[in-house]
Amino acid sequence: MILISDKQKGTVIENVLVELTNINVNGLQNDGVMEHDLRVFSYASVMAATDNFSIQNKLGEGGFGPVYKGTLESGQEIAVKTLSRCSGQGTFEFKNELILISELQHTNLVRLFGFCIHNEERMLIYENMPNKSLDYLLFGTDPTRGLLLDWKARFGIIEGIAQGLLYLHKYSRLRVIHRDLKASNILLDENMNPKISDFGMARAFVHNELEANTDRIVGTLGYMSPEYAMEGIFSPKSDVYSFGVLMLEIICGRKNSSFYNDDHVISIVGYAWELWKEGAGLELMDPTLGESCVRDQLLRCVHVSLLCVEENAVDRPTMSDVISMLTNEGVPLPIPTKPAFFTKRRVVGRGGVGGNDLELIISINGLSNSDLEGR
C-alpha cells in the first residue's frame, strides 16, 4: 500500500511517478492505492486482467497507442490505454493526462482508476465503456446503429458533451482546454451517456487566463479553430469550435473528412453553411433518424453549431450559452455569419503520386488562403 500525504495532488502524482519509475514499480507485488482511490496497478495485475494483452481484448488504437479491455479480480471491467513505443505522443502526454484527469470528476468525463509503469511502458487504467466510442457507433456499419442512435439519444449525447465542456471550462478545480475534441474521444456508457476522454493534449489555465499561445500545434485537422490552426492561439473558444464541428457530425452521421473528394471539396462546416443559407438545414439530417427526429430541435442544433464555428473566437458562444440555447427554445438565437472552414484541393508536383499531393487549405470567409501544417 502506498500512502500519499495531503499535498496538492498534481505535485504528489508527479513525485510518485518519478519515484516509482526510478525505484520499485516493477517490484510491486500488490496494487498501491493513492488518494481519491487512484491506484498504482502492478504490471502483473494488468497482464492478468487483459489476458496478456490478447488480440481478442483489443478495443482499438489511437494516437497514444492500443487500448485493451480487461477484467480485474473484483469483476470490475477496465480499459487499459497503453503508450505505444512508436506513438507520436510520449511521457509528457502520459503525465499530462494522468495529472489532469485525476483532478477532474464529472459524470460526462471518463473515470480514471489509476496507472501502471513497467520499464519503458506506460499505461492508464480507465473504466470500460460498453458502447465503445461515438466514432464507432456514428460512422460504423453496426446494424444496431439506427436503434442506439435515434434523435433522442443523439440530442442527449450533444447535451452531455456540452455539460462536460462547461465543467472543464468553468467549474472544475483546473480550467481545462481539451484541444482534441472529436467523435473518437467521446466514449459511451451502457446508458449511452457520453464521456469525454483523452486528455493527453489538454492544457490547464488559471481561472483569470483568457487564452494562450503555443508553437506546438496538436489536435486533429478539421476540428481545429482557425486561430489555433494558423496562429497557435487557443482558449475555451477553441473547444467551442470543435464542439460545433462534432455537433454537425452527430446530426448528419458523417465524418467531417467524408465531404472531401478529388474535385472541389468542402468541410462539413462549409456544407452546413451552404444548406443553412438556402433554408435547407433539414437536408443535413442523417436518413437513419427517420421518424425519431424532432425537426425543430434538429434545426436549432444546426443553428447553434454554426454559431460555435464562427470565424472570430469572440463571436462564438460560451458553453454556458450553448447549453441555454440548446435546452431553452425561448432563447432567441443570433444570426451566424459565414464561418471559417477547411477545404482540400489537388495540387501538382507537391507530393508525387499515391494521394500525397493533397494540400490542406484553411479558408477564412473566402478572403485568403494559407498553408496549414498538421503536427
How many Cβ atoms sit within 10 Å of the Cβ of residue 265? 18
Asked if the 9-127 domain carries CATH number 3.30.200.20, the reply is yes
Total count of residues recorded for the chain: 375
How many Cβ atoms sit within 10 Å of the Cβ of residue 333? 13
Q: Which segments within 314-356 are labelled E, that is strand? A: 340-346
- C-alpha cell belonging to residue 139: 460512422
Question: Which pLDDT score, from 0 to 100, does residue 208 have?
Answer: 61
Phi-psi domain of 52 (left: phi exceeds 0; alpha: psi -120 through 50; beta: other): left
Q: Which amino acid is at 199?
A: F
Q: Tell the burial category of 221 from Cβ atoms under 10 Å away from its Cβ (0-12, 13-18, 19+).
A: middle
The enclosing H or E element of 220 equals: none
Q: State whether residue 165 is helix, strand or coil.
A: helix
The full set of domain ranges for the chain reads: 9-127, 134-371
- Long-range CB pairs of 89-95 (<8 Å, 24+ gap) are 89/63, 89/64, 89/65, 89/200, 91/122, 93/64, 93/200, 93/201, 94/64, 94/122, 94/124, 94/200, 95/13, 95/14, 95/17
Question: Which pLDDT score, from 0 to 100, does residue 119 have?
Answer: 83
Q: Which of 31, 135, 180, 198 is catalytic?
A: 180
For 154, how many CA atoms within 13 A lie in the half-sphere containing its CB?
Answer: 29
Question: Which pLDDT score, from 0 to 100, does residue 264 have?
Answer: 55
For 85, how many CA atoms within 13 A lie in the half-sphere containing its CB?
Answer: 4
- Into which CATH architecture does domain 134-371 fall? Orthogonal Bundle (1.10)
- C-alpha cell belonging to residue 277: 443559407
- The tens place of each residue's pLDDT in the chain, 375 residues long, gives 233 333 444 444 555 455 444 433 333 334 554 445 678 999 999 999 999 999 999 988 876 788 999 999 999 999 999 876 655 556 777 888 888 888 888 999 999 999 998 888 889 999 999 998 999 899 987 766 667 899 999 999 999 999 999 999 999 888 899 999 999 999 999 999 999 998 888 888 765 656 666 656 667 888 999 988 888 888 999 999 999 999 999 999 999 888 765 455 578 999 999 999 999 999 999 999 989 999 999 999 999 999 999 999 999 999 999 999 999 988 899 999 989 765 544 333 333 333 333 334 444 443 323 333 333
Q: What are the beta bridge partners of residue 66?
A: 61
Residue found by looking up cell 506513438 in the block: 87
Question: Which pLDDT score, from 0 to 100, does residue 32 have?
Answer: 52
Q: Which amino acid is at 79?
A: A
Distances (CA, A) of 227 to 316, 342, 364: 13, 13, 10
Active site annotation includes 180: yes
Phi-psi domain of 132 (left: phi exceeds 0; alpha: psi -120 through 50; beta: other): left
pTM of the model: 0.82
Nearest of 48, 168, 174 to residue 103 by alpha carbon: 174
Residue 222: what are its φ and ψ, rounded to 5°? 100, -25
Cα–Cα dist 322/234, whole Å: 19
Question: Which pLDDT score, from 0 to 100, does residue 103 have?
Answer: 82
Nearest of 339, 317, 338 to residue 326 by alpha carbon: 317
Contact 216, 92 (CB under 8 A): no
Q: What are the beta bridge partners of residue 344?
A: 360
Quickly list H helices, the chain: 9-22, 43-49, 91-103, 134-139, 145-148, 151-166, 226-231, 236-252, 268-277, 295-308, 319-327
Question: Which pLDDT score, from 0 to 100, does residue 335 have?
Answer: 95
Q: What are the beta bridge partners of residue 340?
A: 364
Question: Which pLDDT score, from 0 to 100, does residue 107 have?
Answer: 95
